[in-house]
Amino acid sequence: MTMQATAPVTKHVVYDDDVVRAFALATIVFGAVGLLVGVLVATQLSFWQANFGLQWLSFGRLRPLHTNAAIFAFVGNMMFCGVYYSTQRLLKTRMASDLLSWAHFWIYQLIIVAAAVTLPLGLTQGKEYAELIWPIDIAVVVVWVVFAVNFFWTIARRNERNLYVAIWFYISTIITIAVLYIVNNIQIPTSATHSYSVFTGVQDALVQWWYGHNAVAFFLTTPILGIMYYFLPKAAGRPVYSYRLSIVHFWSLIFIYIWAGPHHLLYTALPDWAQTLGMIFSIMLWAPSWGGMLNGLLTLRGAWDKLRTDPVIKFFIVAVTFYGMSTFEGPLLSIKSVSALGHYTDWIIGHVHGGTLGWNGFMAFGMLYWLVPRLWNTKLASTRLAEVHFWIATFGILLYVVSMWISGVSQGLYLRALDTEGFLMYPDFIESVLASKMLYHMRLTGGLAYFISYLLGMGVLFATIRKGSKSTVEVEVEALQPIRLSFLKIMTGAPVIYAAALVVLTCIFLMAGTLGTAFALAGFVVVIIAGALSVGVEKTRKSWHDMIEAHPLSFTVLTMLAILIGGLAEIVPLAMEKKDVPALVAAADSVWAETGEYTFVQMPYSPLEVEGRDIYVREGCYVCHSQMVRPFRHETLRYGEYSRAAEFIYDTPFQWGSKRTGPDLHRVGGRYPNQWHYLHMMDPRNTSPGSNMPTYPFLAEHAVDVSATAGKMKVLRTIGVPYSDEEIAGAAESMLSQGRLISSNLAEADIELAPDSELTALIAYLQRLGRGPQPTGAAVAGEVAATEVH
């Protein structure tokens, strides 16, 4: 540095803590809302009557509200609170634009309110954690752009040359969430509140879980790690344990995380290679995740005495411990054979709550108990009550997680149990539900305890705010002397070259035959040795990482590259496989035309079935029912033939589900008469005593909006469903005649159901699942005419 000659210029900086305070309040309030809805849905699983017979409060609609509120409203606001507070201080400058900060705050709160209104109304996209309908999606993209512009603009105006590790994590969050959210929400609207994803079937499943898994990674993990790196050393008054661990675990974490999505789809119809990638990358994620835990826990060395007196440290320790536990449990559950047992069960519910309540919830309160007194220039109103909050919350989350572990494993064992003859020990699914009853009550108790402790914490924070007064923090900082760093030189630095070489070799390894594999493995060894040797040389010069920390553009570009590789490697090959579909469909069509035999290739839904499917999506049936029979004897005995990829080519959104509180439905078509479905939907206990499913009598009273169907079919045709012009033009008639078939069939059993009711459409869809086209009225009318002529 040759600029020493110029005298340092000092700048007067006033931090914008108003917006931080606003986000803090929003966090506290929306956290309570998210938990309250959580307690309500937990109550419904114990006592199905707890929706009070109101469709807007039925489990399938409220569970998405609960997850969206917990993730996006609670953790989202907490993240923004921590990011806005720490970024200004780590960069020694005020946020670049107050206007953008406040636009961010208010648009975000409006989005939350819009979500809270639309989801109970049944307006949904039917993809987990991506339920918000398209107009709200657009608002989310706008708010994220506002956030990103404000954040990067602030970086550009910083008075601190190098970016601290917390900022690295924030950058990765902003970049990745933007990519994930936009791609997963590419869709075509059919109305102001409804749309179809352009992805179908297996592709939709892969894109959705690439998104869903990385929402966990880049919304619930990376920003919170950034917050940990700022608030934990601050509160402990101790240096961070290891800078080089920060570097290694940051880059390995963001690079590996993005590949892990398919672990949500093990033993499904997703191709084997994609499943294996999901599994092995999840396993490799163990150490990078634990790097974060280590840097958190080991930073507290020498501060253990504070553990006794300071609730902030207590919350942080439990949070980081839960992070370590969840990030061990995650790779464990990603092992195919473990997933075979745990998937679709309450084990997953326990796992995600360990993450959200344990890691995010405790991080939130560690941060808030430290931050709120500083923001309002006072002391915490009651350390004692904060302690009580801590102990009840810890008890609550442990009870919650343990009950779900037991419930999950026992469900898995119940459903796979075969007798000595090789047949199902518990043929009726309801037996596994009844076995979990007590554990559902236990979970409710744990969740309730956590909620009550939260209210206590809320009280402490509000009392603190009331006795304090808003503080304004002003500092004198030394202005940043501009230095020249070459983008090109950074991007051609040794680490980039070695990393690129490893990525290329990995691609060869994954795609090549024996010879290529040998080449790739030899290449790995060479690159690793060369890398190790050059690190020794590198250290004598100025560290390359030091340079990228001072050059945000390079840092951002490299982050972007790191997170794009995994997604591209999985999504692009699958998109190319889709080209083989037309031949498959033609072959299946000709078999169907000749013999009427179903060859595990999907044929388009009739108009009534399209509407029935939309009702299935609207009511959130996928929240409790999967449509994916896995290739296990116990599943094919219970449900029928295992599901094939070609059976979902026209399904948008895909409805494979991720949890079985009820049985799989992919082969439910033709299994029961219409009468059974009618009685079941009116009150599931008519046909399945002991069921905890809500009742759906309102479906029988509502009529399907026939006028929208043709428009929906046109959009579906754009996406690839081969509807003819005649089929679209005749949609309304076809619906009525197919509806009449069902209602006249029900009339034989003295049941009156209008042919155009929503329940009729839903029954038509359910009867269609897992098999070929069913008679629509027109065809049958023709047949009747034909037999009369004979």
Partner 1 sequence: MTEYKQDQLREHVYDGIQEYDNRLPNWWLFILYATIVFAIGYWLVFHTFKVGDLQIAKYDKEMIAATEAQLAAMAGLEMNDEALQMMTTLPDRVAEGRQVFTTYCVVCHLDQGQGLVGPNLTDGYWINGGTPMAIHQTVTNGVLSKGMAAWGNQLGPKRVQSVVAYLLTIKNTEVPGKEPEGTLEEGTE
Residues that bind partner 1 (CB under 8 A): 86, 89-90, 92, 160, 162, 164, 230, 233-234, 239-246, 248, 252, 267, 272-273, 275-276, 279-281, 283-284, 286-288, 290-291, 294, 298, 331, 336, 418, 421-422, 509-510, 512-514, 517, 521, 539-540, 630-633, 636, 642
By beta-carbon proximity to partner 1, the closer residue of 594 and 788 is: 594
Residue type, 715: V
Residue where the block lists tokens 């163990």: 286
Shortest distance, position 331 Cβ to partner 1, whole Å: 8
Buried b (16+ CB within 10 A) or exposed e, 660-691: bbbbbbbbbbebbebbebbbbbbbbbebbeeb
Nearest CA among 371, 393, 391 for reference residue 380: 371
Shortest distance, position 280 Cβ to partner 1, whole Å: 4
Q: Which two tokens stand for residue 458?
A: 């809320």
By beta-carbon proximity to partner 1, the closer residue of 243 and 487 is: 243
Shortest distance, position 283 Cβ to partner 1, whole Å: 5
Q: How far apart are CA 747 and CA 209, in angstroms?
A: 43
Q: How far apart are CA 134 and CA 123, in angstroms?
A: 10
By beta-carbon proximity to partner 1, the closer residue of 245 and 779 is: 245
By beta-carbon proximity to partner 1, the closer residue of 45 and 217 is: 217
By beta-carbon proximity to partner 1, the closer residue of 287 and 463 is: 287
Bridge-partner residues for 393, per DSSP? none
By beta-carbon proximity to partner 1, the closer residue of 482 and 513 is: 513
Shortest distance, position 6 Cβ to partner 1, whole Å: 21
By beta-carbon proximity to partner 1, the closer residue of 518 and 747 is: 518
Backbone angle region of 53, left / alpha / beta, with phi > 0 → left and psi within -120 to 50 → alpha = left
Shortest distance, position 322 Cβ to partner 1, whole Å: 19
Shortest distance, position 708 Cβ to partner 1, whole Å: 40
By beta-carbon proximity to partner 1, the closer residue of 197 and 275 is: 275
Residue type, 405: W
Q: Before 311, cis peptide (omega within 30)?
A: no
Bridge-partner residues for 10, per DSSP? 478
Write a three-state SS string for 204-239. Answer: HHHHHHHHHHHHHHHCCCHHHHHHHHHHHHHHHCCC
Q: Judge whether 686 and 680 are in contact, CB under 8 Å.
A: yes
Output the CA angle 113-354-219, nearest 5 degrees: 45
Q: Which two tokens stand for residue 181?
A: 């959210």
Shortest distance, position 378 Cβ to partner 1, whole Å: 21
Q: Strand 10-14 to strand 474-478: parallel, antiparallel, or no bridges (unpaired)?
A: antiparallel
Shortest distance, position 667 Cβ to partner 1, whole Å: 16
Q: Judge whether 327 and 289 are in contact, CB under 8 Å.
A: yes
Nearest CA among 269, 114, 190 for reference residue 613: 190
By beta-carbon proximity to partner 1, the closer residue of 49 and 481 is: 481
Q: How far apart are CA 122 and CA 53, in angstroms?
A: 15
CB proximity list for 763: less than 8 A, separation 6 or greater: 612, 674, 677, 678, 681, 742
By beta-carbon proximity to partner 1, the closer residue of 353 and 545 is: 545
Q: Judge whether 51 and 44 are in contact, CB under 8 Å.
A: yes
Shortest distance, position 484 Cβ to partner 1, whole Å: 20
By beta-carbon proximity to partner 1, the closer residue of 218 and 267 is: 267
Shortest distance, position 533 Cβ to partner 1, whole Å: 15
Q: Taking the alpha carbons of 238, 244, 247, 248 in that order, is the dihedral positive or negative?
A: negative
The 8-class DSSP code of residue 418 comes to B
Q: How far apart are CA 30 and CA 109, in angstroms?
A: 10
By beta-carbon proximity to partner 1, the closer residue of 626 and 776 is: 626
Shortest distance, position 232 Cβ to partner 1, whole Å: 9
Shortest distance, position 245 Cβ to partner 1, whole Å: 5
Query: What is the rounded end-to-end Cα distance, in angstroms, of the chain?
Result: 100
